[in-house]
Amino acid sequence: MKTLVKITIIAILAFVFTSNNSAFADNPKTETIKVSGNCDMCKARIEKAAKIDGVTKAKWNKKDKTLTASFDADKTSIDAIGKKIAEAGHDNEKAKATDKAYDKLPNCCKYR
């Protein structure tokens, strides 16, 4: 029984220390920026592009065209997140997509 308790405690501690959870980030931060887009395909692309190393949560709101990102400020910044989103073809407050990246978007996602 003692062995089972020890194994359980070790497993819980291992999960806590390896979890990519903002509650355990050294410098947790949440910021919101405007990001251009139109549809659910844009939402998926924007959120995927935003999830770079250090980002624990990224949600784009189609109605008000905002991305709210939670991240470890010691690992990344809202500027770096904006740059990655622009590389995926979406203009935002921090960076503008190149014409080449924008032209790769499906027609329903073109906002310019």
Contact predicate 61/43, CB 8 Å: no
Is 66 inside a domain boundary? yes
**What is the value of pTM for the model shown?**
0.78
**What is the CATH number for 42?**
3.30.70.100
Q: Domain limits at 65?
A: 22-109
- pLDDT band at 2, cuts 50/70/90? low
- Could you read off the pLDDT of 35-81 as tens digits, one per residue? 999 999 999 999 999 999 999 999 999 999 999 999 999 999 999 99
Is 51 inside a domain boundary? yes
Is 50 inside a domain boundary? yes
Is 104 inside a domain boundary? yes
**How many structural domains are present in the chain?**
1
| Structure confidence at residue 5 (pLDDT) | 54
**Dihedral class, residue 97 (left if φ above 0, else alpha if ψ from -120 to 50, else beta):** beta
